[in-house]
Amino acid sequence: MNRVLVVSNYKAGRKKAVLNKKTLRKFLYKYSEYFNIVDICDLENINTSEYDTIIAMGGDGTINKVLPLVVNTEKTLGIIPCGTANLLAAKLGIPTNIKKALEIIARENSKKIDVISINDKFCILRFGLGYDGDIIGKTPQSLKNKFGYFSYFIAGILFSLRLKAQNYHIIYDNYNEINVKACCIIVANASNMYKNIVSVGNQSKLNDGLMEVFILKAKNPITFFIEILNILFNHRVDSKRAIYFNTSKLKIENKWTMGHIDGEKQKFRGNFEFNIIPNAINVIQ
């Protein structure tokens, strides 16, 4: 670890990154030859070519912002989880305690993991439409500031009481087609939710060259909770309530919708085209 750029989101996770800044600086003085700490808002003004290690200090959205800097490069990605959810860190076994997270970075043990390309964007965790998009996009910041990650659990229960289904035309592996009315679609590189308690995928490996697709067809809260119980007890099979499959290539027809990429809400226009990029990032674990 020679030249290190830290991209910090001081607003993430009830401003945890602010509290960790002093500890981070002591670490960088000891383990790096040169370092620079920048706020995520100033990232576009930074020449990143001179750095060999990029550290994302924030949540899953912060990691997503630095993806263009590290995908298919020789740079290494480090993670200091300070966000609300920190799902990628949980999947990789990186603790939220900053001293323990920095110990992992100091060892510099790394592995290659996949990334999903969605049209002109990158996704390292998951993409969500419908119910999943509503949880991310409509959970008030005031609720997240007060309850942290538990706020998503509260929002999940509330939104399950008013499910809204839309018609989707889906093509995967170039020739398989699905016409479905669904209240939620998740396309995941890592399908863990609520830390590692729940997974909407059957394999959920970060380096298997596949995306996991979960389509929820539940029409009311009763069928919704039946499927959630199946997920909790690892009984994920196709039924009238849900569809599960893996693929390396996917298309979803879309006109206009709200959703999220790696926990950041976005408005989408036009069709989605998903492709897996195998071994795209070298991440410290």
Average pLDDT estimate for 264-282? 93
Residues 100 and 221 in one domain: no
Residue at 27 is within a domain: yes
Residues 17 and 134 in one domain: no
Q: Which domain covers residue 68, as residue numbers?
A: 3-108
Q: How many domains does the chain have?
A: 2
Residue at 115 is within a domain: no
The enclosing domain of 41 has a CATH number of 3.40.50.10330
Residues 134 and 90 in one domain: no
Residues 100 and 170 in one domain: no
Q: What is the pTM of this model?
A: 0.91
Residues 97 and 167 in one domain: no
**CA–CA distance, 69 with 62 (Å, rounded to integer):** 12
What's the pLDDT band for 27 if we cut at 50, 70, 90? Answer: very high
Residues 102 and 150 in one domain: no
Whether the Cβ atoms of residue 5 and residue 39 lie closer than 8 Å to each other: no
Predicted pLDDT at 239: 94
Predicted pLDDT at 148: 72
E strands, 62-218, in order: 76-81, 110-118, 121-123, 126-130, 166-172, 176-182, 184-188, 192-193, 198-199, 211-216
Predicted pLDDT at 184: 95
